[in-house]
Amino acid sequence: MTDAIDATETPTPRRKPKQPKTMIGGREMKPATQMMGYGFDPALSEGSLKAPIFLTSTFAFENAAAGKRHFEGITGQRPGGAEGLVYSRFNGPNQEILEDRLAIWDGAEDALTFSSGMTAICILMLASVGQGDVIVHSGPLYAASEGFVAKVLAKFGVTYVDFPAGASREELDEVLKRAKAQANAGGGKVAMIYLESPANPTNALVDIEAVKDARDAILGGAQAAGGSAQESDCPIAIDNTFLGPLWQRPLDHGADIVVYSLTKYVGGHSDLVAGSIAGAKKWMDPVRALRNTMGGIVDPNTAWMLLRSLETVELRMQRAGENAAKVCAFLKAHPKVEGLGYLGFIDDPRQQDIYDRHCKGAGSTFSVFIKGGEAESFRFLDNLTIAKLAVSLGGTETLASHPAAMTHLSVPQERKDALGITDNLVRISIGIEDADDLIADFEQALEHV
């Protein structure tokens, strides 16, 4: 057995160019440029300019030794992950190209894709926690994320501590001390700090830099004996669906893992459901291993659609952001509008400071408070002609919904009050239509109020 074939001599042919060209004029190409070609070599696919959709459940090994080597990578017996494709529950060409390109936007070492944003969030959390552990999270979270922590992980002895988005460094220190005590009492550790910023539907921002400083001060170094003195074993994950990848890059501000519902801005056409996470390999590897076991990877068709979407994500988000700024300027001055929850018009100095440090744009999803209550808000919604009445966000088309009566209907009244989810709150996601047409639509709908 000593002279077994060296599989490294006969690598599985891959669609990946060996040395992807990412430099131009002595500097790295911008993400918008890299979206057209990164990670795909047409010469490996009959010259096809666009990646074909690889509809296959399994991949042929060129010899037995290569198969063994690939399985060593998949099962983690050899570090560095799989060098070749094995089976479509683990990965596939379309998914790999997509993951490579997603990682570029956030400046991440690695990325993983999933069949939905919630699949990404659930597998990430499941891979990170053990019995007795504590998850610290900002509030409010997307309702299904909050439910997964409070109801599902609770069944396995995992508890949580939450804090309001916007908490100060001092408050965060207190929250983490409380979480650490709770973890010690349960015989576990603080396994993850999970953020969502801006929060839905309040648009409250979390100070990622303050969270990192508090984490390093309170949970830095070894929670468990033997951990390194510098690096905490408690990652900071953040759901960046509302502002990413264009308007906020959380890894630059101290987050370790960035989470997306790709269903929203990244997919951007309201025609698919998918999710992703990105970050350093050391955080991705345990999640990849659990995804290999459970499944939940995005399918090849959807991955291909997302590659299409990534080519225009910057264009679409820029246009939607410009449209939202114009629409909000109009709404702000309208006598039938009581107020706006829009990141372009922040009135709290602490929130403005976080915005200035973390955000590159105000986004295109915001809340408008109509003068009156549910009846007035419904009249406004029912008279919109361009904007469609639907939940979700980040698509090419403008959508409007009523959180108190729809997405947050099951939230108890006390919590609705605390979160500011009132009966006159209308949620709007601005698309890429003509801004003047959108303003005319909102104007005529407000006349009916």
Ligand X SMILES: *Cc1c(COP(=O)(O)O)cnc(C)c1O
Interacting residues toward ligand X by CB under 6 A: 116-118, 142, 196, 200, 239, 241-242, 261, 263-264, 273, 275
Give CA–CA dist 380/413, Å, rounded.
Answer: 23
Give CA–CA dist 172/380, Å, rounded.
Answer: 40
Q: Which is nearer to ligand X, 220 or 267 (CB)?
A: 267
What is the largest distance, in Å, between two alpha-carbon atoms of the chain?
A: 83
Q: Which is nearer to ligand X, 200 or 424 (CB)?
A: 200
Residue 120 Cβ vs ligand X, minimum distance, rounded to whole Å: 8
> Which residue, among 345, 346, 319, 348, has the nearest Cα to 332 in the 3D structure?
345
Q: Which is nearer to ligand X, 12 or 203 (CB)?
A: 203
User: Torsion angle of alpha carbons 240, 362, 205, 330, nearest 10°?
Assistant: -130
Q: Which is nearer to ligand X, 180 or 264 (CB)?
A: 264
Residue 294 Cβ vs ligand X, minimum distance, rounded to whole Å: 15
Strand partners, 350: none
Residue 431 Cβ vs ligand X, minimum distance, rounded to whole Å: 16
Residue 67 Cβ vs ligand X, minimum distance, rounded to whole Å: 34
Residue 118 Cβ vs ligand X, minimum distance, rounded to whole Å: 4
Q: Which amino acid is at 321?
A: G
Q: Which is nearer to ligand X, 241 or 377 (CB)?
A: 241
DSSP 221: S
Residue 188 Cβ vs ligand X, minimum distance, rounded to whole Å: 26
Residue 161 Cβ vs ligand X, minimum distance, rounded to whole Å: 20
Number of CB atoms found within 10 A of residue 331's CB:
23
Angle between helices 208-218 and 169-186 (to 10 degrees): 50
DSSP 51: P
Residue 147 Cβ vs ligand X, minimum distance, rounded to whole Å: 12
Long-range contacts of 3-8 (CB under 8 A, 24+ apart): 4/65, 5/63, 5/64, 5/65, 6/65, 7/63, 7/65, 7/66, 7/68, 7/69, 8/69
Q: Which is nearer to ligand X, 182 or 309 (CB)?
A: 309
Do residues 167 and 350 make contact, with C-beta atoms less than 8 angstroms apart? no
Q: Which is nearer to ligand X, 118 or 446 (CB)?
A: 118
Q: Which is nearer to ligand X, 84 or 275 (CB)?
A: 275
Polymer length in residues for the chain:
449
Give CA–CA dist 10/83, Å, rounded.
Answer: 11
Do residues 216 and 209 make contact, with C-beta atoms less than 8 angstroms apart? no
Q: Provide the sign of the torsion angle of the four alpha carbons 292, 101, 53, 309, taken in this order.
A: positive
Q: Which is nearer to ligand X, 162 or 239 (CB)?
A: 239
Q: Which is nearer to ligand X, 166 or 275 (CB)?
A: 275
Residue 200 Cβ vs ligand X, minimum distance, rounded to whole Å: 6
Q: Which is nearer to ligand X, 241 or 424 (CB)?
A: 241
Residue 117 Cβ vs ligand X, minimum distance, rounded to whole Å: 2
CA 280 to each of CA 28, 138, 236, 448: distance values in angstroms, whole numbers, following the listed order: 20, 22, 12, 52
Q: Residue with the closest Cβ to ligand X? A: 117
CA 77 to each of CA 70, 82, 283, 293, 368: distance values in angstroms, whole numbers, following the listed order: 10, 10, 17, 15, 54
Q: Provide the sign of the torsion angle of the four alpha carbons 143, 391, 196, 244, taken in this order.
A: positive
Residue 277 Cβ vs ligand X, minimum distance, rounded to whole Å: 12
